[in-house]
């Protein structure tokens, strides 16, 4: 089977083509998301930490693919190779992350050392992004969305603690709040997504219409 049919780490989800046609509508895979923002000693937000938990089918496929195709002497080392590949490949797509302050987009860059591990049958992927400019969340709220633009993967925050803000000591900052807004896509877009089969071409930014939006503010 051909590989590299999808942008996430260049890993094909070939197992999905074996699913019945009735379950091949978009999305094809799911990620439970947790986000942590780091504040420095001056209270400025400097980094965004991602924690992805893949659905069991997708996660197992990625794990098996890593064991077959990544280099390394141990399963953990091969998973680490996949983590690095995914982080590199997502560069072109801004790591699915879109941040803004006062309506202006914020630049981001990947920090080193992504991590991937299998835990209790679920695959977890962690990576860290650096904001190109520090943000004072007491001055202007920071808003963000995380989504796959093709809507091949649906990414939703874990309940009830999908977003947290950490102070300079690494503790949850009780002076900050995160407000999550659920998407309300047009019914025509929902129907369109449900009609898309595996491998069908889609508008590049279909996923934005199904993305959750989170707004952060600190006192």
Determine the angle formed by the axes of helices 56-69 and 75-89, rounding to 10 degrees.
Answer: 110
User: Of 79-93, 103-117, 198-212, which gets the smallest average pLDDT?
Assistant: 198-212
Kindly report, residue by residue over 124-141, the tens digit of the pLDDT.
999 999 999 999 999 999
For 98, the enclosing helix (H) or strand (E) is: strand 97-101
Give 202's pLDDT tier (boundaries 50, 70, 90).
Answer: low
Mean pLDDT over each residue of the chain, to the nearest integer: 86
Give the contacts of 139 (CB within 8 A, at least 6 positions apart).
none
- pLDDT beyond 80 at 11: no
Rounded Cα distance between 192 and 26, Å, is 9
Kindly report, residue by residue over 31-64, the tens digit of the pLDDT.
999 999 999 999 999 999 999 999 999 999 999 9
For the chain, give me the number of helices (H) and strands (E)?
3, 12
Give 199's pLDDT tier (boundaries 50, 70, 90).
Answer: low
CB atoms within 10 A of CB 108: 19
pLDDT at 116: 97
pLDDT at 46: 97
CATH (one of 1.25.40, 2.60.40, 1.10.3470, 2.70.170) for 25-218: 2.70.170
């Amino acid at each position: 089977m051909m590989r590299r049919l999808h942008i996430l780490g260049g890993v094909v989800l070939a197992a999905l083509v074996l699913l019945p046609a009735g379950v091949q509508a978009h999305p094809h895979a799911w990620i439970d998301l947790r986000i942590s923002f780091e504040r420095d000693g001056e209270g400025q937000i400097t980094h965004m930490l991602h924690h992805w938990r893949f659905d069991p089918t997708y996660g197992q496929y990625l794990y098996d693919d890593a064991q077959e195709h990544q280099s390394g002497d141990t399963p953990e080392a091969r998973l680490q190779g996949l983590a690095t590949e995914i982080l590199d490949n997502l560069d072109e797509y801004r790591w699915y992350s879109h941040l803004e302050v006062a309506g202006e987009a914020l630049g981001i860059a990947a920090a080193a050392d992504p991590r991937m591990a299998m835990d209790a049958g679920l695959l977890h992927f962690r990576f860290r992004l650096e904001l190109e400019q520090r943000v004072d969340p007491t001055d202007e709220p920071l808003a963000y969305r995380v989504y796959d633009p093709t809507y091949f993967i649906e990414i939703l925050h874990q309940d009830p603690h999908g977003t947290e803000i950490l102070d300079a000591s690494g503790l949850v900052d009780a002076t900050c709040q995160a407000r999550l807004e659920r998407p309300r896509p047009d019914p025509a877009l929902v129907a369109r997504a449900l009609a898309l089969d595996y491998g069908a071409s889609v508008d590049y930014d279909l996923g934005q219409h199904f993305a959750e939006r989170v707004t952060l503010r600190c006192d």
